């Protein structure tokens, strides 16, 4: 063996190979069946082409098509096949970039006539032909002069620009699939045949070259690709469900909110939507009261000097809104900012009055309205807005209290999610980003504490809570936990956060008097449960598909009359329901009952009580539940008792159970 290297396999075994041994030869040396199934290999966790020599010592894994890591390769290869198909069908079309994205890929094309979805069937047919050819992916390394000439001669001006942007110390890799080739970093699978047939082109969109509106508009074709047809079908079904559940459509149908051009990214809440919002606030407020939080309210507009002290003006300015006096004649020419977050204001409240170690932890909570600039193209209903409400809180504590407080927050977050039906939760620890404030020693200390807390969370959950590390994704002032929940159709949503901050109290000179009568700096924990109340409500609308549990629904019951003879009875039923703490309305309109039921069902009212002359005489109601065609006759007393019990909120039900 001319140049031996030591390779460690997943089973822990260590073997020696020549450094020139390729991934394909490595797989062959293990078994012929593995070599047939292999699509790539991983060296020290980095995916590489099977044709790559191993080169040096390290951990080694052979990647087969059913490995989750192969999915990125499948999508990357499919993007290349899409580009080849387009250029075969429409010669002269320029290809630009085609990256892998979540759940799929896209490719941007330069063509005089933009593509439309009507072009998809012919493109997909050609892609299947290319895959069936099963041409090998092969790699070559070109010098820059050759690459520029080849692509310039092909009329690929965008590729020439990409070549010029690649640093001189990086290889210029060209990947072939048969005769067709593209500039690409790789890696790729062994051949086009390994892609399979589980792909679909999804949509087209316009996209400026390099995201710059001053540059030409390209046509972007989006696609999705999966390991097998079952996965593709499941994904397409999920998209269908997501479309049915779209909170923007349901918001219109349920008359909850709207948006308009004069207020981009800010919500116009209608009466029922605002009631839903307040239901969420009321629930959260009760939870916080039980746990010793103090609700406060900090100003929305503060002088930029405060934001300079906090570090936001330097680190977060591009996402902030500047505020000045609108009039021409003013005696105050200072620059203010709309608050993007509540934390600096809460530090000021903590500082107001002397604090002792006996007072800690101090827990300040706020349902604070904040504003952050989002590009107009990123705005998306309630999910991405410019003005929103944070269920924000800051805990000021000692270092000794830090771990325990993080665990208390964890319990609050998990029980809150469970109350709304979310049981599948991930907790991710995001560590120091490249751009940050504070010393490395402070970060080391904070990350050590958070890592220990994460291990405790996992242990206490008995394996029910999945945990992981997100390197480099922490806030600029400290590491954080991110809580990710899974909804009814399998989508992940990042909502809650817990962030440790040794920096902000120091910047503002916050302190408490320790047991030794000396000034000490508190640790500050930033925590949010919903994150953005607006976004959380959007998630809830889609998770429930508008079919809210009775305790949370903005309008819980409608009493609809069959004839005007029952109007007085219906009004009295509404009064009785309201007296029992239920949100109810009467529908006394001169319309057919089927029309009324259809209309209220579309508005997702959980309970419809139908009353006619007989019900008025007997003191009964006909109960129709949302989503059911069945109808049940009940006495009014029994119906009210049943609904009042069902409408009891989970937190109150827990409290009653504890005191029983």
Active-site positions? 343, 372, 390, 392, 394, 480, 526
The H-assigned helical ranges of 515-562 are 533-544
Q: Which residues contact 181 (CB under 8 A, 6 or more apart)?
A: 140, 174, 175
3-state secondary structure (DSSP) of residue 437: coil
Contact 341, 286 (CB under 8 A): no
Residues 6+ apart with CB under 8 A from 466: 425, 426, 427
The candidate with the shortest Cα–Cα distance to 292, out of 370, 397, 388, 418, is: 397
The C-alpha atoms of residue 660 and residue 653 are separated, in whole angstroms, by: 10
Q: Quick one: DSSP state of residue 51?
A: T
HEC profile for 100-152? Answer: EECCEEEEEEECCCCCCHHHHHHHHHHHHHHHHHCCEEEEEEECHHHHHHHHH
Q: Are strands 301-303 and 336-338 parallel, antiparallel or unpaired?
A: antiparallel
Biggest CA–CA distance in the chain, Å, is 100
The strand pairing partners of 365, in sequence order, are 295, 393
**Please, which residues have CB within 8 angstroms of residue 268's CB and are 6 or more apart in sequence?**
257, 258, 259, 260
Report CA Rg, the chain.
30
Which two structure tokens, joined as six digits, stand for 354? 């002397």
Q: How far apart are CA 552 and CA 356, in angstroms?
A: 40
């Amino acid at each position: 063996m001319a140049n031996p290297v030591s390779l460690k396999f997943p089973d822990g075994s260590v073997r020696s190979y020549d450094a020139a041994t390729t991934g394909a030869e490595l797989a062959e040396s293990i078994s012929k069946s593995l070599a047939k199934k292999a699509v790539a290999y991983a060296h020290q966790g980095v995916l590489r082409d099977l044709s790559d020599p191993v080169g040096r010592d390290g951990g080694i894994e052979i990647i087969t098509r059913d490995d989750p890591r192969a999915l990125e390769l499948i999508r990357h290869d499919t993007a290349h096949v899409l580009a080849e198909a387009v250029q075969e069908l429409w010669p002269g079309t320029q290809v630009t970039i085609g990256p892998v994205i979540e759940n799929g890929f896209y490719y941007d094309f330069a063509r005089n006539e933009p593509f439309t979805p009507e072009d998809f069937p012919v493109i997909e047919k050609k892609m299947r032909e290319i895959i069936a050819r099963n041409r090998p992916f092969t790699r070559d390394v070109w010098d820059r002069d050759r690459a520029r000439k080849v692509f310039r001669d092909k009329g690929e001006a965008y590729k020439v620009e990409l070549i010029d942007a690649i640093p001189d110390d990086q290889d210029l890799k060209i990947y072939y699939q048969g005769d067709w080739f593209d500039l690409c970093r790789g890696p790729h699978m062994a051949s086009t045949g390994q892609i399979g047939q589980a792909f679909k082109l999804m949509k087209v969109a316009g996209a400026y070259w390099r995201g710059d509106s001053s540059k030409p508009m390209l046509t972007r074709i989006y696609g999705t690709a999966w390991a097998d047809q079952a996965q593709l079908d499941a994904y397409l079904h999920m998209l269908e469900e997501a479309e049915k559940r779209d909170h923007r459509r349901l918001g219109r149908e349920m008359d909850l909110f709207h948006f308009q051009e004069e207020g981009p990214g800010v919500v116009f809440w209608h009466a029922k939507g605002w009631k839903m919002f307040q239901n969420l606030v009321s629930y959260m407020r009760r939870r916080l009261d039980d746990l010793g939080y103090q609700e406060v309210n900090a100003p929305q507009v503060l002088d930029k000097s405060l934001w300079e002290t906090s570090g936001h003006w330097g680190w977060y300015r591009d996402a902030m809104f500047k505020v000045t006096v609108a009039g021409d004649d003013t005696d105050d020419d200072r620059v203010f900012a709309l608050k993007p977050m509540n934390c600096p204001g809460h530090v000021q409240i903590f500082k107001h009055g002397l604090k002792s170690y006996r007072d800690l932890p101090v827990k300040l909570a706020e349902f604070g309205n904040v504003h952050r600039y989002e590009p107009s193209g990123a705005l998306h209903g309630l999910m991405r807005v410019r003005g929103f409400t944070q269920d924000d809180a800051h805990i000021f504590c000692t270092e000794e209290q830090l771990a325990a407080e993080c665990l208390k927050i964890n319990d609050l977050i998990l029980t809150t999610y469970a109350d709304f039906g979310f049981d599948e939760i991930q907790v991710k620890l995001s560590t120091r980003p490249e751009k940050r404030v504070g010393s490395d020693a402070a970060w080391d200390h904070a990350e050590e504490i958070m890592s220990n807390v994460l291990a405790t969370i996992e242990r206490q959950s008995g394996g029910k809570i999945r945990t992981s590390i997100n390197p480099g994704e922490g806030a600029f002032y400290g590491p954080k936990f991110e809580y990710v929940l899974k909804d009814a159709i399998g989508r992940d949503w990042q909502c809650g956060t817990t962030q440790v901050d040794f920096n902000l109290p120091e910047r503002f000179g916050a302190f408490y008097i320790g047991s030794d009568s000396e000034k000490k700096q508190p640790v500050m924990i930033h925590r949010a449960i919903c994150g953005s109340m607006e976004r959380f409500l959007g998630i809830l609308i889609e998770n429930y598909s508008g079919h809210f549990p009775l305790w949370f629904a903005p309008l819980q019951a409608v009493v609809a009359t069959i004839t005007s003879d029952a109007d007085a009875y219906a009004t009295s039923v509404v009064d009785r329901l309201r007296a029992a703490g239920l949100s109810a309305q009467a529908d006394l309109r001169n319309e057919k009952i089927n029309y009324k039921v259809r209309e209220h069902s579309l508005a997702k009212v959980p309970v419809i009580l139908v009353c006619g002359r007989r019900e008025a005489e007997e003191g009964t109601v006909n109960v129709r539940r949302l989503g059911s065609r069945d109808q049940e006759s009940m006495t009014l007393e029994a119906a009210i008792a049943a609904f009042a019990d069902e409408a009891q909120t989970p937190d109150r039900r827990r409290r009653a159970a504890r005191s029983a």
